[in-house]
Amino acid sequence: MAKKGDEKPSIFIKKVKKVAGGHHGGAWKVAYADFVTAMMAFFMLLWLLSVSDKVTLQGLADYFTPSNSTMSNSSGSGSILAGTAMESEGAKSSGSVTMAMPSASPQKESEAEQASMESQSQSASSSWQTKLPPQPDAKLLQAEDELKSAIQSTPELNRYKDQISMEQTPDGLRIQLVDRDQRPMFRPGTAELYPFAERMMRVVGGVIQGLPNRISIQGHTDSTGAQSESLYGNWELSADRANASRRALRSAGVPVDRFAEVTGRASTDPLYPDDPLRPENRRISVLIIREAPVMAPNFGATY
């Protein structure tokens, strides 16, 4: 029988199972941060390209375009010296053939390109300036300001100021008196001015009577009745209304020799081509021509 002190100690073996796919560290965070940074830089580049003007984009394109001096020549050994050796007299080949030098230095080429771009820019600028209208005449600008002040200072006409428009054009100062909805200047189908329209004509005549420029008057109608005109249609009506406007300006003190032409355009030149029936197409256009009078001051005074 074994004694109590001779018992052997118990040994326990613990097995740990390893599971694949555990924690791998934070390397993916670095990769994801690089990806986000690259995408942000890419979208910033797209935004800069979209907001840059054509001159800046052309300059960037010229900067990254290879020139003749930067293009390599594959002749010889293909090395930097292309099969030549450096001596005291310069770079020479082993034979009697010398290395071809570029016709111009990169600096001269860039200067030539810049000069060419400047000449093209100047030519484009000059052609653009030739298309611009001439500078407004000081007297025409003064006449426009005086007419605006006269209308605003007259309570009777201030309520109709939306029927008068003024525009500085290459031909001169164009003053247009237009119809509004429920506010025509002429009685329907006639060349008889309403009192407020005649008053506006007199104000216009009082401002332009002191100018030496000649005057052109055009009458316009809408397209109502243009397809089935009788013996008296839009052509006759627009011409009669232009003549009625001329008589109103004449009664305001405009000399008779100042009238260069009085024409009727019917509905051929609408103010709103997309809506030929709008009342604004019925209008009187008074053009103060940008030139000095060519007729004698007393020409036609017996009219």
Q: What is the CATH number of the domain that holds 188?
A: 3.30.1330.60
Please indicate, yes or no, if residue 15 is contained in any of the structural domains: no
Please indicate, yes or no, if residue 226 is contained in any of the structural domains: yes
Query: What pLDDT is recorded for position 130?
Result: 38
For residue 168, give both structure tokens. Answer: 């500085």
Where would I find the H helices in the chain?
27-51, 54-64, 106-131, 138-152, 155-158, 195-208, 234-251
Range of the domain at 145: 140-289
Please indicate, yes or no, if residue 205 is contained in any of the structural domains: yes
Q: How far apart are CA 291 and CA 185, in angstroms?
A: 29
Q: Kindly list the distances between the CA atom of residue 164 and the CA atoms of 148, 168, 181, 197, 243, in Å, as whole numbers in the listed order.
A: 9, 14, 14, 10, 19
pLDDT digits (tens, 9 = 90+) for 70-96: 554 444 444 444 444 444 444 444 444
**Using only C-alpha atoms, what is the Rg of the chain?**
43
pTM above 0.85, yes or no: no
For residue 41, give both structure tokens. Answer: 């830089």
Please indicate, yes or no, if residue 116 is contained in any of the structural domains: no
Asked if 256 and 303 touch (Cβ cutoff 8 Å), the reply is yes
pLDDT digits (tens, 9 = 90+) for 118-176: 665 555 444 434 344 456 578 888 888 888 888 888 777 788 888 999 999 999 999 99
Please indicate, yes or no, if residue 71 is contained in any of the structural domains: no
Task: Report, as ranges of residue numbers, the positions in the chain whose pLDDT lies below 70.
Answer: 1-8, 15-25, 67-136, 225-230, 292-303
User: Residue 185 gets which letter from DSSP?
Assistant: S
Residue 45 burial (CB count, 10 A): 10
Please indicate, yes or no, if residue 195 is contained in any of the structural domains: yes
Please indicate, yes or no, if residue 254 is contained in any of the structural domains: yes
At 104 the three-state DSSP class reads coil
User: Residue 13 gets which letter from DSSP?
Assistant: -
Please indicate, yes or no, if residue 83 is contained in any of the structural domains: no
- Selection from 284, 287, 277 nearest residue 193 by Cα: 284
Number of domains composing the chain: 1
Query: What pLDDT is recorded for position 77?
Result: 46
Q: How far apart are CA 49 and CA 111, in angstroms?
A: 26
Q: How far apart are CA 280 and CA 165, in angstroms?
A: 11
Q: How far apart are CA 178 and CA 182, in angstroms?
A: 12
Q: Work out the angle at residue 221's Cα, subtended by the Cα atoms of residues 217 and 225, and round it to the nearest 5 degrees.
A: 145
For residue 132, give both structure tokens. Answer: 């611009």
